[in-house]
Amino acid sequence: MSELDELFSNNRAWAEKMTREDPEFFSRLTHQQSPAYLWVGCADSRVPANEIVGLLPGELFVHRNVANVVVHTDLNSISVIQFAVDVLRVRHIIVCGHYGCGGVLAALRDDRLGLVDNWLRHVQDVRDKHRDELKALNSIDDRHDRLCELNVIEQVLNVSQTTVVRDAWARGQSVSVNGLIYGLEDGLLQDLGIHINGVDDIPDAWKNSRAFRSGEHDATSSWPDSTAVVDPY
């Protein structure tokens, strides 16, 4: 018996269920893809994008990687953003991280995991940028949660600085870039308060963000010093 048999069985059951509930569902999917949202999330198997926001196939365009990172030189993520904005004409880009992210924890502790260490160097740049705030927190768990939040904020800013998004704004296309974080413990999304609708929003995006949990963190700081360097925890 193939180790994939369970997946095929589950797939057939799902397809039959969808057809029972909506006989035209798959017919519509073959003719149209018009999602309003692009989801940039973590590859973690515990964070299924469509399911946690209750959207069906065809309603959410999804890109996922380790620790929901957007790098300007990564043609994979930039190509997804370009296709979503220019071709699908999505109206909202959502960067969604999650508490308990293993990639963020590895970056925080400077763990060595292999090739992925080079990818997580981008998250360590976020860690280093916010050295003082992270060191002021009392526990590794608090620092981990905070870095998960900060990483989302930084990736929202990165998306907003891409040529794809800036060109869309320049031609008058409506595109918002937003930061959310998901809780594994309760299954709920939190709004981190960063919503960028145009170039003019970028300078104030950091200080306007509520990248803190239940008021536990200081959100009054100005744009952080990008030259800060930190020793690994």
User: Which residue, 132, 126, 122, is CA-closest to 147?
Assistant: 126
Find the catalytic residue in 46, 86, 132, 141: 46
Find the catalytic residue in 96, 101, 122, 143: 101
Burial of 193 (0-12, 13-18, 19+ CB in 10 A): middle
* 72 catalytic residue (yes or no): no
CA dist 185 to 77, 100, 108, 137, 189, Å?
28, 9, 21, 21, 11
Structure-block tokens of residue 229: 């360097």
Please state, as a whole number, how many other Cβ atoms lie within 10 Å of the Cβ of residue 192.
24
Structure-block tokens of residue 8: 């095929």
* 46 catalytic residue (yes or no): yes
* 44 catalytic residue (yes or no): yes
Beta bridge partners of 60: 37
CA dist 83 to 6, 86, 88, 168, Å?
33, 5, 6, 12
Q: What letter would DSSP give residue 108? A: H
Find the catalytic residue in 44, 122, 127, 146: 44
Q: Which residues contact 73 (CB under 8 A, 6 or more apart)?
A: none
Find the catalytic residue in 63, 64, 96, 98: 98
Cα gap 113→171, rounded to integer Å: 43
Cα gap 15→28, rounded to integer Å: 14
Find the catalytic residue in 42, 63, 96, 217: 42
* 130 catalytic residue (yes or no): no
Active centre residues (catalytic):
42, 44, 46, 98, 101
